[in-house]
A = this chain, B = another copy of it.
């Protein structure tokens, strides 16, 4: 459900093609390494059409950021489930991100590369809730139940996200190793690190 619209706005077909072409090219060659002419050509539209939908190249990358980040977050918006153990709750969230990274490598890489870049305005960043939302509930719960170490929320957050990135990158590098057993082992590295 959460695929063709962005903040509730349905994307036109050519707009979509431009975003998809940009995603591929920005990841492969970077922002300045990709010309608007190349994007238009890859998307199969004229440059005029590109600038009809996106006023500037910067607006294009900002809209692309919203597009990719929402695509990731809508996969992982679930909240804490009391019927499952604490560890299972964390693992579920972890797996959602890891699967997103594996199934959508371009979107994942784009978020990684550009979430700290100067082209993405702070206004854009404010428009998407961070992936911290899901984690905050889990963190409070974990501290309260004394399941996780007494480490600051910021540290756990960065550690959790860093672990997701590591694991996704690892299985991208060694795709033949991707199976449930290795995925479980990778999660244990994280879990044994943060749990008491």
Contact = CB atoms under 8 A, between A and B. Distances in A.
A110 to B, nearest CB: 14
Nearest to A190: B193
A159 B155 contact: no
Interface stretch (A64-72, A86-94, A164-172): A164-172
Given A162-B162, A162-B166, A165-B162, A185 B151 contact: yes
A7 interface: no
Interface string A155-196: 100110111011001100110010000100110111111100
A132 to B, nearest CB: 13
A122 interface: no
A32 interface: yes
Contacts of A149: 185, 188-189
Contact of A32 (B33, B158, B161): B33
Interface size class of A (residues with CB under 8 A): 35 or more
Interface of A: 28-33, 117-118, 149, 151-152, 154-155, 158-159, 161-163, 165-166, 169-170, 173-174, 177, 182, 185-186, 188-194
21 contacts: A28-B118, A29-B32, A29-B118, A30-B32, A30-B117, A32-B32, A149-B188, A149-B189, A151-B185, A152-B177, A154-B170, A154-B173, A155-B170, A155-B185, A159-B189, A161-B166, A162-B162, A162-B166, A188-B193, A189-B193, A193-B193
